[in-house]
Amino acid sequence: MNKVVYMDYAATTYVKPEVLEEMMPYFTEKFGNPSSFYSISRDTKMAIDLGRDRVAKALGCESSEVYFTGGGSEADNWALKGIAFAHKKKGNHIITTKIEHHAVLHACEYLEKHGFEVTYLDVDSEGFINLEDLKNAITDKTILVSIMFANNEIGTIQPIKEIGQICKERKVLFHTDAVQAVGNVHINVKELNIDLLSLAGHKIYGPKGIGALYIRKGVRIDNLVHGGGQERARRAGTENVPAIVGLGKAIELATSSIDEHAERLEKLRDKLIDGLLKVPYSRLNGPRGKNRLAGNANIIFEFIEGESILLMLDFEGVCASSGSACTSGSLDPSHVLLAIGCKHEIAHGSLRLSLGDGTTEEDVDYVINAVPPIIQRLRDMSPLWEDHLKKGAK
């Protein structure tokens, strides 16, 4: 088999063997409906309780504040729409940023069609919001601030504690999409003044199609799915027991080794970034250092058109991305790169490589060697590069 180097952990991860092992019995012998009365159902009910306890421990909240969802997008949608409709008598104003995941941005667009007003905060050239901008944007009509913990494309980690503090002082609810942050950053929702937080299983070596929304006790929110009494009647439907078990195990593993995990990945990440920046006319997107996700590298190579770089990397066995998985296939440049000030034509030549537990130093070396000749070949075919050379020759 040809070599495959997977560098797209921000898109999804494999399921860890320990996680799968805990899940397996819940597909077969432990199949009872958790809402039923007999003893095989008690097993599944207890498994759900354990999963919830593990998520709560990872976030520093009560188990009763954790609600399982069908993934990160669902948790984001619930937070935005559930808060908006439950608080519309108080106000119709929501604040978010220009660099959120589409699960947040498109939910906001939907709310705009239903009478809500949304402020999309700008970010600076490294992707950070400005706290003064946030303070100035809050009005007496503001009901919710939704700002992501860490960005999935450029790795920027926002000053979440300060944002939470501002929201608390101004008595506005604060939601954060922490799908990328969990397992990479220490999170305690109480210390950080977070009212709602979204997470997903498949970004932390758990299964796909499962996530959770933390909802602080006392926060009023509309129910998401009407039906039975599951998830305290807020999200009805028979629970996805194997996935809940998997999420619980995955988050326990991910949060028990954050420092070692981050330290190892930061070294690999910085080696990768430094290696790729040796290519002429290349540039790093997002910040350096501790305020960048440990496994994220995002580089722009100027004078390259389209997503051809991904195709050629695929040919070399490297799985990478140009931004978020959701935008690939469309020709629009990433909204995140545009928000940090990249020009349209340049934003196309971006490459996101995200590292994870399976990444080795050998993988990093392989990519550092594979990329420069690809860039050279693409530039040789590019009219933008030709123009540039002509200008230089003048």
Ligand X SMILES: *Cc1c(COP(=O)(O)O)cnc(C)c1O
Q: Which residues are catalytic?
A: 326
Cβ closest to ligand X, residue 203 vs residue 235: 203
Strands 93-97 and 142-146: parallel
Among 22, 177, 302, 357, binds ligand X (CB under 6 A): 177
99 is an interface residue for ligand X by CB under 6 A:
no
The SS3 call for residue 262 is: helix
**Residue 271 φ then ψ, to 5°:** -65, -45
What is the C-alpha to C-alpha distance for residues 155 and 17, in angstroms, rounded to an integer? Answer: 27
156 is an interface residue for ligand X by CB under 6 A:
no
Q: List CB contacts of 178: < 8 A, sequence separation 6 or more.
A: 148, 149, 150, 187, 197, 198, 199
Segment lying near ligand X (by CB under 6 A), choices 65-73, 167-175, 232-240, 266-274: 65-73
350 is an interface residue for ligand X by CB under 6 A:
no
The DSSP element (H or E) to which 310 belongs, if any, is: helix 308-315
Question: How is residue 334 annotated by DSSP?
Answer: P
**Residue 63 counted as an annotated binding residue:** no
CB 95 within 8 A of CB 223: no
**Residue 211 counted as an annotated binding residue:** no
Smallest distance from ligand X to CB 135, Å: 24
Smallest distance from ligand X to CB 376, Å: 32
Smallest distance from ligand X to CB 324, Å: 7
Nearest partner of 11 among 389, 310, 394, judged by Cα = 310
**Residue 152 counted as an annotated binding residue:** yes
What is the C-alpha to C-alpha distance for residues 78 and 169, in angstroms, rounded to an integer? Answer: 24
**Residue 72 counted as an annotated binding residue:** yes
Could you give the angle at the alpha carbon of 388 between the alpha carbons of 382 and 390, nearest 5°? 105
Question: What sections of 14-71 are H helices per DSSP?
Answer: 17-23, 39-59
105 is an interface residue for ligand X by CB under 6 A:
no
Site for ligand X in 189-228 (CB under 6 A): 200, 202-203, 211
Q: What track of x and - describes contact with ligand X for positions 67 through 96 (by CB under 6 A)?
A: ----xxx--x--------------------
Among 180, 321, 350, 382, binds ligand X (CB under 6 A): 180
In this chain, which residue has its C-beta nearest to ligand X? 72
323 is an interface residue for ligand X by CB under 6 A:
no
Point out which residues pair with 174 in neighbouring strands: 145
- Binding positions are 72-73, 152, 180, 238, 326
Instruction: Give contact residues for ligand X (rule: CB under 6 A).
Output: 71-73, 76, 101, 103, 148, 152, 177, 179-180, 200, 202-203, 211
- Binding positions for pyridoxal 5'-phosphate are 72-73, 152, 180, 238
